Amino acid sequence: MSVEGMQITNCHIHTFTADHVPTRYAGFFGKFLRIRAFRVVVLWIMRFIGHTPRSRLARYARILETSYERDQEAIFKIVQDFYPQGTRFVILPMDMTYMNAGPLRESVAEQHTYLEGLQRRYPELIILFAAVDPRHPDVVARTIELLEHRGFRGIKLYPPLGYHPNDPALSELYRYAADREIPVLSHCSRRGVLYRGSDKEATIRLADPDNYIPILDAHPKLKLCLAHFGGDEEWKKDRKESSRAGKPGPDRSWLAKIADMISSGRYENLYTDISYTLFADEEYVHMLNALLADPRLRARVLFGSDFYVVEDAKLEERQTWPRIRSALGEDLFRAIAEENPREFLGAAAT
């Protein structure tokens, strides 16, 4: 049990390693970034320049700095050390098989198998979601096997890797998850890992909250979390342009879209999380505080950090999550870090 009787659940972390990232992720520089001395130089240059710490090159350098020559358990132990004893973590694997950036050194099936063993070693602390990509020919059978027989408790989607969340291959899984109250978490931010295609904006738009409206209408019992609450760029847009009040329709920020979808009461099982976003700017916690005045939002926002991808955010995780707790106060933090995760995860948390 965490401090002061609070059972904190971090609903969004990653433990994938460099072996789960495509070989051409960073293009020509990829093979050199596997050399530690080269990574150190790259990261130093990125910090010195100041304008590109989130570039593809810098992001891959940080991924390797955390994950190279480490396994998933070692990465898990890093984040575990940031939080009070007894904190639980939802681990979200990444399936980059079809992102058009080269082969993987370890398949997503191998990634899942390792996590299965890791969960058995930390059964009280780890909740596993299965990475799902509808382009796998056996995606439905593969996912049901993980959920029913191998200890996985939820489904992770990442549409900007190159598929639409309304892909017909996913419809059976949405129905399956809704019938069994299995939680689904989907990437919903402009930032992140993108399919290597010619139209970047079209790829980003695969994560648009509007894409999920027909899914939720078709499956009202589906427990769905749109991760990152739209993402830090959309929070910046909302803050600067007053998009919630002044920009109806598709020009609204993704923050506004998600907040309005939840506040409407139309989607009782829709959630969002604050992973990465609240670590990108220290002002965002005050925006969140105001948003949580809405009782529906207060009951549907989840705490998450996006470790270790959050390593390239402005604020460091070890120092930032306690600041979030302090700024929100114990009641609000308990809502997003204990009560709401319990409702979202349901049987997955037991």
Between CA 50 and CA 44 the distance in angstroms is 10
- Please report, as a single letter, which amino acid is at residue 269: N
In the block, which residue shows the tokens 């020559």? 69
- Please report, as a single letter, which amino acid is at residue 321: W
CB atoms within 10 A of CB 97: 19
The answer to whether the pTM exceeds 0.85 is yes
- Biggest CA–CA distance in the chain, Å, is 53
Listed residue (151, 148, 152, 114) closest to 131, CA to CA: 152
* Close Cβ partners of 17 (under 8 Å, ≥ 6 residues apart): 67, 68, 70, 71, 72, 75, 106
- Which pLDDT belongs to residue 45? 72
CB atoms within 10 A of CB 35: 12
Domains of the chain, start order:
3-17+70-349 (3.20.20.140)
pLDDT tens for each residue of the chain, 350 residues long: 444 689 999 999 999 998 999 988 867 666 676 677 776 776 677 656 644 545 556 665 666 667 776 899 999 999 999 999 999 999 999 999 999 999 999 999 999 999 999 999 999 999 999 999 999 999 999 999 999 999 999 999 999 999 999 999 999 999 999 999 999 999 999 999 999 988 999 999 999 999 999 999 999 999 999 999 999 999 999 887 654 544 566 678 999 999 999 999 999 999 999 999 999 999 999 999 999 999 999 999 999 999 988 876 777 888 999 999 999 999 999 999 999 999 999 987 77
With contact defined as beta carbons under 8 Å apart, do 103 and 22 qualify?
yes
**CA-based R_g, the chain, Å:** 19
Between CA 11 and CA 302 the distance in angstroms is 7
Helix residue spans in 247-283 (DSSP H): 254-263
With contact defined as beta carbons under 8 Å apart, do 241 and 277 qualify?
no
Between CA 90 and CA 128 the distance in angstroms is 6
- Which pLDDT belongs to residue 263? 97
* Close Cβ partners of 153 (under 8 Å, ≥ 6 residues apart): 127, 128, 129, 147, 182, 183, 345, 347, 348, 349
Helix residue spans in 136-183 (DSSP H): 139-149, 168-180
- The values of phi and psi at residue 236, to 5°, are -60, -45
Between CA 77 and CA 203 the distance in angstroms is 33
Assigned token pair, 231? 């993402």
